[in-house]
Amino acid sequence: MYFMKLASIAISAAVIQSPLTEVKRLSDEPILTPRENLFDDLAAYNPTAVKLGKKTVLLYRAQDKKGTSRIGYAESTDGIHFVQSKEPVLVPETDYEKDGGIEDPRIVKIDNLYYLTYTGYNKTDAQLCLATSMDLKKWDRVGIIMPANKGTWNEKWTKSGAILTTKVNGKYWMYYLGTANGADQMGVAISTDLKHWQDATKVPVLAKREGMFDSKVVEPGPAPILTKDGILLIYNGADDKLVYRTGWVLFDKNDPTKVLRRSETPIFAPEKKWEVEGQVPNVVFVEGLTKNGDRLNLYYGAGDTSTGVIECKLKK
C-alpha cells in the first residue's frame, strides 16, 4: 500500500509538471501606452505579436476616449521598445463592429497569408471575426466565423480565436471563448479552409475550476504552439473576484480536444501599479507570443490600459 501511495504521488506530480520555465519581466514599465489626441488616447493594450524579418510587430487594441476600439500597429527591433503608428490599420466598418469596435486580435501566418481573429463588438453582441492580409496593414474581412448565441454549447458571446497553424487529422483547430452555465469557458472549433468553422465538441474543451485562479473565466491567449509533448496553449484565467492571471494547458497533438496537463497555479499575475490599476484593475491578459528557439516573449494587456512583455522558455 505504501508503494502504491508513492506511485500515485509521482503520477500526480508528473501530470502538473510545467512545460515552461519561470517567467520574468523584460520591462518594469509599459511598452505601449495611450497617446493624447490620437486614436489610442484611452488605452493601448491586448496585442497580438508576429515577427516580420528582424522586427517584432504588435497589432494592439487601440481605444479612444469615446470607447471605440481599433487595431493599432507598432514596430520594434528588440521586441521591447516600440514605435506606434499614427493611424490604425483596421477600423470599425461593418454592422457587427459599429460603435463598439474591433477588439483583442490574435494572429497566425499560414502559407503566405496572415489570419487575424478579432472580436467584433456593436454594443449588442461580441462575435468572433476573421480578416486576412498579405502585409499586416491592408486587411480583407472574411466576416463572423463563430456567431454569438449559437453553437453546440455556447449561450452568449464568442471571442478570442487562437488557431493552431498545423493541421491535425486533416483539419485546422481553433480554441475560442464562449459561455456555458453563466461562465466564460474555452471551446474548440474545426475548419478545412480557415474561413468556415464549427464546434468540435458538445461541451467546453477547457472548463472553469471552482476555487482556483480560473474559476470564472477560461480564455485562450496567443495561438497555440505544437511541441514535442503536445499542443501548448497559454490562456487567461479569472477568479470569482475577476483577477486575471496566466495559465497553460497541454493538449494531445493527435487529439486537440484531449487535455494532457493543465497548470494548477498561475505562471503570471498582476503586481505592478499599472497592472493592478487601470480601466479594469488587477488584469494581466496575454495575447501575443513570439518564439526564438526555446525562448518565448509574451505580450500582455495590463489593467485594460497599457501593454507589457514577459519572457520564459520551453523546457527541454
Domain ranges of the chain: 20-313
- Fold of domain 20-313: Tachylectin-2; Chain A (2.115.10)
pLDDT score of 178: 98
Rg, C-alpha atoms of the chain:
19
**Tens digits of residue pLDDT in 238-275:** 999 999 999 999 999 999 999 999 999 999 999 999 99
- Residues 219-225 have a mean pLDDT of 98
Angle formed at CA 109 by CA 223 and CA 105, multiple of 5 degrees: 50
pTM of the model: 0.94
10 Å Cβ neighbour count for 27? Answer: 14
Rounded Cα–Cα distance for residues 142 and 255 (Å): 27
Q: How deeply is 221 buried, as exposed, middle or buried, from its count of CB atoms within 10 A (0-12, 13-18, 19+)? A: buried
Q: How many CA atoms lie within 13 A of 214 on its CB side?
A: 26
Instruction: Using the predicted structure, report yes or no on whether residue 11 has a pLDDT greater than 50.
Output: no
Residue among 187, 245, 170, 191 nearest 214 (CA): 245
Q: Which residue has the higher pLDDT, 4 or 185?
A: 185
